[in-house]
Amino acid sequence: MVRPDIVRLYKSLHTWTGIISGMALFIAFYAGALTVFKDPIARWVSPPSPGLESATLADAPRLIEQVLRERPQASREFMLYLQEGENVPAPLAWRELPAGAQPSGHDGQGNAQHFAARITNDRVVVEQHTPSALPEFIDTLHRVVGLPKDIDPYRRVMGVIAALYAVALVSGLIVLLPTLAKSLFALHIGPNLKRMWLDAHNLIGLASLPFHIIMALTSIVFAFHDDIFAIQDPMIHGGKLESIWRGPALAAQPDVQAKPVPRNPADMLPPAELLAKVKAIAPDFVPKTMQYTQVTGPRATVRIWGFDDKDIARSDQGGLVRVDPYSGNILDTELLPGQQSPAAVTLTSFFTLHFANFGGAPVRWLYFVLGLAGAFLFYSGNLLWIESRRKAERKGQPMPVQTKPARGIAAATVGVCLGCVCGISLSMAAGKWLHGIVADLAAWHMAVYYVVFFACIAWSFYVGAARAGVHLLWLASTSTLAIPLTSLVAWAMPSLGLWAYGTVAPLGVDATALAAAVIWAWLARMTARRVVRGRTDSVWALSRSPSL
Amino acid sequence: MITPMVERPAKIQRDWVSKTIAGTVLGLALALAAGGAVMRLSSATPMIAAQFAMWIVPPVWMGVLSLCYLFRNGLRTWLWLGAATLLAYALLYAPDVIRHVTAFAASTP
């Protein structure tokens, strides 16, 4: 049995790691749950465009050749889209750094402009096209725990939070061990609210423990993998990590000479032929995008991304096969679904378990629920700490004022968590309303989110957690209701310049938002009852004095 | 009433700062060494093995950091984890050291 002094020690550890990282983790898990449905959200928020209708695969060589002639920067990297989608603007897309712009972001393309090319009236038309920043912004919020950009310093912050989270998981488990059997089936629903919240916290934590272990470990990897590789390179790889990545087939490609002769992209094999070669070795692989890189250089490569329902894939873009576009040689099948070696499959599984791209829709919905349950864990953890610090009312004594830390954490928890919910919902609705009205919609998505987020926190500190909880839950309900309402208005009044799609994915977004709005409203009513009828010696009671 | 004298194990000392630093620093060192062990022992291609070597770092690191508070006090944490780290790196680099020494011995006339 675990000694009581050890349990006490680990309870302290669990409490502090939980309180410090809890609110950041709420944001990561709430935005992460939404990111499971990044593609449907992208389809929902993308304005109508000709998409892939304009060009067939046979037109691709002509499209590529003309684009590379007119816009040489595209030779660095361009994408050929093979599958339809409301969020696929055109068959060919690439990014260019405007003159004088600095590279930034995890891939150096933070300040790049987006371009797309299509065929209209048998002519190749190049236009600047900005994909919606909303899905990427929600993803960024989840990747860097609410910070605005996915850059390495912010990732390291997330990594520290993830490390605290990992320690909180182990310590929570140790605390629960002595009473594990009893706790497994305990859920005391009744007047003892603290007991009920504690049981719910323990039950949900225990049931979703495998999910949380996966998330904690994968997040630490995502934060620190570059740093770990950087240390391990001299330490265990003898400084040869770069050549290890290139692997044997790619190492056979000629080394970069002092002044490489630029190759003529017109010599590249047509995409249809490259796809046929891939199909010959992987008949069940369904390609989705072709990513061409360095096409005028000696190491020109095309990564063909796609999925195979019978195997697992590395990323949310699928698995990939690397092909030489000039010779048609398959360079690397390590990450090709259906062809992965057992060791590669194991590695891929680590990624897949984070991204939920296995098992189709049921698994995605499972991860969505687990993500929201996780957010509840962090919210309830803070609430439990506040309750444990509660100064009880004594007979004949004046009503005790709850401690400043307790009131502060209560206000912060309510403000941060509900502020995140409201901010994301309003930012989503803004994606349709502000389209075509503002110049930089991406900036507005961020502005709407952060203004709402900080306003909710400020309000929560101003009126106290009890009142703010009710207000912000109602705000969460109305702002989330705005999402399907916007689609309804768009359908009913086409003259407004909004849009709404009747396809499955965007409708799913509207339906889920509607259900969520109802749930937030129900929670608002429950909370309103609690602050009026519940115990008055608590941060959750409406105090007689107006603010803190 | 006579209370019997019972030998109770000494209560655990929290020593938060000392244990946390040991768990973080030595835990990372042990985790990196575990990566080295993976590289040596894995039969997969280097490209795959190098990735496993990176992936093993977080679980080992977090495992050591989470469990280091079980030591009775900060000093013991440093002593045990320090010894483990030295042993891990000795094992990791022993083949290289042996190789260099035998090559040197073979080259001298």
The closest of A494, A381, A478, A479 to A430, measured between CA atoms, is: A479
CB atoms within 10 A of CB A102: 8
> Touching check for A134 and chain B: CB below 8 Å?
no
- Band of residue A262 on the pLDDT scale cut at 50, 70, 90: confident
CA of A496 vs chain B CAs: smallest distance (Å): 51
Number of domain units in chain A: 3
Q: Read off the pLDDT of each residue in A64-82 and give the average, rounded to a whole number.
A: 90
Task: Specify the higher pLDDT residue, A477 or A263.
Answer: A477
Residue A273: is its pLDDT beyond 80? yes
Structure tokens at B107: 């080259």
Cα four-point dihedral sign A311, A312, A318, A319: negative
Q: Which of A120, A61, A70 is nearest to A90 (CA)?
A: A120
Identify which has the larger pLDDT, A272 or A396.
Answer: A272
Indicate if A89 and A144 belong to the same structural domain.
no
Please tell me whether residue A468 adopts helix, strand or coil conformation: helix
Handedness of CA A276, A282, A286, A288 (dihedral sign): negative
To the nearest whole angstrom, how far is the Cα of B25 from the nearest Cα of chain A? 13
Q: How many residues does chain B have?
A: 109
Looking at the structure, do residues A32 and A158 belong to the same domain, yes or no?
yes
Could you identify the residue written with the tokens 């509660």?
A: A390
Residues from chain B that touch A228, judged by Cβ atoms under 8 A, are 32, 35, 54, 57
Residues A29 and A58 in one domain: no
Does the residue A454 lie in any domain?
A: yes
Mean pLDDT comparison of A80-89, A103-112, A254-263, A529-538, highest-scoring range: A80-89
**A389 or B34, greater pLDDT:** B34
Q: Per-residue pLDDT for A453 more than 90?
A: yes
Q: Which of residues B44 and A447 earns the better pLDDT score?
A: A447
Complex-level ipTM: 0.89
Locate the chain B residue with the closest alpha carbon to A341: B44
> Residue B26 carries which side chain, given as an amino acid letter?
L
pLDDT band at B88 (very low <50, low <70, confident <90, very high): very high
Cα separations in angstroms, A532 against A195, A386, A527, A537: 20, 19, 9, 12
What pLDDT was estimated at residue A108? 67
If asked whether residues A417 and A545 sit together in one domain, one would say: yes
Nearest to B55 among A216, A221, A341 (CB): A221
Helix (H, G, I), strand (E, B) or coil at A322: strand
Percent of chain A with pLDDT over 90: 53
Identity of the residue in B12, B50, B62 whose CB atom sits nearest the CB atom of A167: B62
Separation in Å, CA of A107 to nearest CA in chain B: 20
Does A265 reside within a domain? Answer: no
Say which of A170, A237, A341 has its CB closest to residue B50: A237
Tally Cβ neighbours within 10 Å of residue A69: 12
| pLDDT value of residue A546 | 38
Query: Which pLDDT value is given to residue A1?
Result: 63
Q: At A152, give phi and psi (nearest 5°).
A: -55, -45
Residues of B with CB under 8 A from a CB of A: 9, 11-12, 14, 32, 35-36, 39, 42, 44-55, 57-59, 61-63, 65-67, 69-70, 92
Calculate how close chain B gets to A243, using CA atoms only, in Å: 9
Most confident of the following: A77-81, A166-170, A311-315 = A166-170
What percentage of chain B's residues is helix, strand, coil (to nearest 5)? 75, 0, 25
Residues A61 and A12 in one domain: no
Indicate whether A308 belongs to any domain.
no
Mean pLDDT score, B11-31: 95
User: Is the domain of A34 the same as that of A151?
Assistant: yes
Buried b (16+ CB within 10 A) or exposed e, B22-37: bbeebbbbbbbbbbbb
Residue A146 lies in a domain: yes
> Which of A131, A153, A169 marks a domain boundary?
A131
Task: Please name the helix (run of DSSP H) or strand (run of DSSP E) that holds residue A471, with its range, or none.
Answer: helix A465-492
Whether A410 and A430 map to the same domain: the answer is yes
Query: Average of pLDDT values for A165-190?
Result: 85
Instruction: Tell me, yes or no, whether A306 lies in a domain.
Output: no
pLDDT at A525 over 70: yes
Q: Say if the Cβ atoms of A9 and B69 lie within 8 Å.
A: yes
Handedness of CA A66, A67, A72, A78 (dihedral sign): negative
Dihedral, CA of residue A29, residue A30, residue A36 and residue A41, to nearest 10:
-150
Q: Which of A340, A346, A347, A354 to mutate to test the interface with B (most CBs of B within 10 A)?
A: A347
Token code pair at residue A182: 């009893």
Question: Which letter does DSSP use for residue A316 in this model?
Answer: T
> Which residues of chain B does A10 touch, with a Cβ-Cβ cutoff of 8 Å?
69
φ and ψ at A537, to 5 degrees?
-90, 70
pTM (predicted TM-score): 0.90
CB proximity A69 to B under 8 Å: no
**Closest chain A residue to B55, measured at CA:** A221
Partner residue facing B54 (CB), from A3, A163, A232: A232
Q: Is residue A4 part of a domain?
A: yes
Which chain B residue's Cα is nearest to A159? B58
Residue from A14, A20, A164, A228 whose CB has the most chain B CBs within 10 Å, to mutate: A228
Same domain? For A433 and A463 the reply is: yes
In whole angstroms, what is the distance from residue A185 CA to residue A480 CA?
A: 34
Residue A310 is predicted with a pLDDT of: 77
**What CA–CA distance (Å, rounded) separates A73 from A117?**
14
Name the domain boundary from A131, A157, A173: A131
**Rounded-to-10 torsion of CA A366, A369, A374, A377:** -130
Q: Are residues A417 and A498 in the same domain?
A: yes
Quick check: B32 and A235 CB within 8 A?
Answer: yes
Cα–Cα nearest to A286, from A262, A264, A305, A312:
A305
Whether residue A521 is predicted with pLDDT greater than 50 in this model: the reply is yes
First to last CA, chain B: 83
Nearest CA in chain A to B33: A236
Give phi and psi for A367, each to the nearest 5: -65, -35
Lowest-pLDDT choice from A47-56, A281-290, A318-327, A486-495 = A47-56
pLDDT at B29 over 70: yes
Between A99 and A517, residue with greater pLDDT: A517
Q: Is residue A284 part of a domain?
A: no
How does DSSP assign A150-170, residue by residue?
--HHHHHHHHHHHHHHHHHHH
Instruction: Name the pLDDT band for A191 (thresholds 50, 70, 90).
Output: confident
Residues A73 and A196 reside in one and the same domain: no
The residue out of A131, A154, A183 marking a domain boundary is A131
Chain B contact for A235 (CB, 8 A cutoff): yes
The encoded tokens of residue A227 equal 């740093």
Nearest in space to A383 (alpha carbons), one of A28, A6, A26, A4? A26
Is residue A108 in some structural domain? yes
Work out the pLDDT band at A548, boundaries 50, 70, 90: very low
CA distance A544 to A541: 9
A244-263 mean pLDDT: 66
Measure CA B4 to chain center: 42
Is some CB atom of chain B closer than 8 A to the CB atom of A241? yes
- Least CA distance to A228: which residue of chain B? B54
B contacts of A3 (beta carbons < 8 Å): 9, 12
Average pLDDT, chain A: 88
Assess whether A101 and A160 both reside in one domain: no
**A292-304 residue pLDDT tens:** 999 988 889 999 9
H or E stretch at A446: helix A441-463
A273-276: Cβ within 8 A, 24+ apart: A273/A328, A274/A302, A274/A304, A274/A323, A274/A325, A274/A328, A275/A57, A275/A82, A275/A304
Q: Which domain holds residue A508?
A: 402-548
For residues A10 and A94, membership in a common domain is answered with no
